[in-house]
Chain A
Amino acid sequence: MLGRENPNGGLTRVALFAAIFISTVLIILQRGAEHNTSGVETAAQETVAPLASVLAVPLRGFEGIFSDISDRRSAFEDNKKLREEIAMLRERQARYDNLANKVARYEAILGVDTETDIPLRKIAARAIGETDGPFFRSLILNVGSKDGVKVGNPVMSTNGLVGHVINIGPNTTRVLRVSDLNSRIAVASARSGATAILAGDNSPLPKLDFINQRENWKAGDRVISSGDDGALPRGLQIGEVVRGEAGGFRVQLAAGSEPLDWVWVSPFEKLVAPPETDEETEEETDEVTVDKDRTETDVDPGETP
């Protein structure tokens, strides 16, 4: 009888070691393997979502109390700064309107369209869970495939790009944050147009890798998505270039440290490259077609095999 077994008995130890062994094997199996989200993960995500939604309301309220206190403390200074910014932005707005008119005229003359490919439609979502675990930086949103979200869609906050969708359930979505170790985004400097790859390393300041035209990058440059990888639209606000401690370039994320509550998903369709066809393949295809034609014509309809 299990109930009468000595607590120090060997059976518990055997079961314990078996559980430790299974867990260790599971961990080792993932070494070097690409992390693909499974159906079980989606199911777990969907299961915890209702509880997380309920929890999110008081938690965001609690955060709000503290942010309200600090906001009130700096209200006077903020007000002064905002007035100055409004004055400056009015002037810029006038200049921007003139430029927009000018660009529209040129576009009409040349017959080109320089519009950004950021979709105008947005799917508003609430961040109900934020996993800032030991190795992962991800979010869970309360929208899913039922709302039109697809894997790869960019997720934005009012400040800038938060990440992209990696897993969707019917009602929930998991978002890989830009700072996550597995995140790689093609970016560009808004000032010079030079490109690079923004590589997350779980730090608050992801690094710029594979920098093209290093001389065209400098601290203070605004970083936007380049759209080169076809995964994200061009022009999404990402952050600002800063010098890292080791001397390399890093990016201060625009949506880095803010508490995330409401975000939106841009239903951007990933660009698919046309199938590559080289000359040899084309020739082979032609030959096959010719052979096929010949075979078809060679066969006498009256003949029976």
Chain B
Amino acid sequence: MTYLGIQSQKQKIWPTIVAALSLFIASATSIAGLNLFGAWIGFGFIPLVVLIIWPKRANRFVSLALVFFAGLFTDWATGGIDGQWALVFVLVWGYFRPELRSTPFAPIGLLLVWLTSCGLALVTLSVSGYLVDGIFPDFWAMGRQIIFATCLLPVFLLLRHGLAMRANDSEDW
């Protein structure tokens, strides 16, 4: 419950904790993948799904710090360029700004946000990778990762809906 739209700090703790835990678990799964029909499908874009369904009510400063560290953690866990995923995570979170979201989730709007986030991530990874290693990434491999993460988006939305209804009785969590 909020009074005149002002939310207590206590109310912001749970959404922040749940979102942060989900993001760190998603980051940890980044090192895994599936080998189907002779093609490797990495889970590298799954954390972005968590980012775009970030709770509106989460404390934004704590969220930003956690998003940044989750990105660094992903870089360390995957043995990649330090700061690369951190920059992607922060940019996506900054582009989306969950606290400014008006409606919970309009399907087409969400899909557009998701695709733009993927595009933003693709450009950031390519430019930063080119800057450090002097080569462009394997775009086919990244395309497969994006398709896989897109397929998981409805599953994550469903999980989020379940959690939000249980915790808040409202989609606006």
Contacts and interface: CB of A to CB of B under 8 A. Distances in A.
Contacts of A7: 60, 97, 99-100
A134 B91 contact: no
Contact of B138 (A2, A55, A134, A174): A134
B132 A3 contact: no
Contacts of A15: 61, 64
Contacts of B6: 3-4
Nearest to A180: B79
B82 A2 contact: no
Contacts of B138: 132, 134, 202-203
Contacts, number: 166
B42 A135 contact: no
Interface in B77-98: 77-84, 86-87, 90-91, 93-94, 97
Contacts of A16: 64, 90, 93-94
B167 interface: no
Contacts of B60: 7, 12
B131 interface: yes
Given A7-B100, A23-B71, A44-B73, A136 B64 contact: no
Interface string A40-59: 11011101100110011001
Instruction: Pick the most buried of B44, B81, B100: most chain A CB atoms within 10 A of its CB.
Output: B81
Given A12-B60, A16-B90, A28 B76 contact: no
A133 B80 contact: yes
B7 A3 contact: yes
A51 B25 CA distance: 8
Contact of A51 (B28, B40, B128): B28
Contacts of A131: 30-31, 42, 78-80
B117 to A, nearest CB: 15
Nearest to A48: B28
A129 interface: yes
Contact of B31 (A30, A43, A140): A140
B161 interface: no
17 contacts: A11-B61, A12-B97, A19-B68, A20-B90, A20-B91, A27-B128, A30-B83, A47-B77, A52-B28, A52-B29, A52-B31, A56-B32, A129-B32, A132-B138, A133-B42, A134-B129, A135-B135
Given A2-B9, A47-B28, A130-B31, 4 more contacts: A131-B30, A132-B33, A134-B126, A201-B135
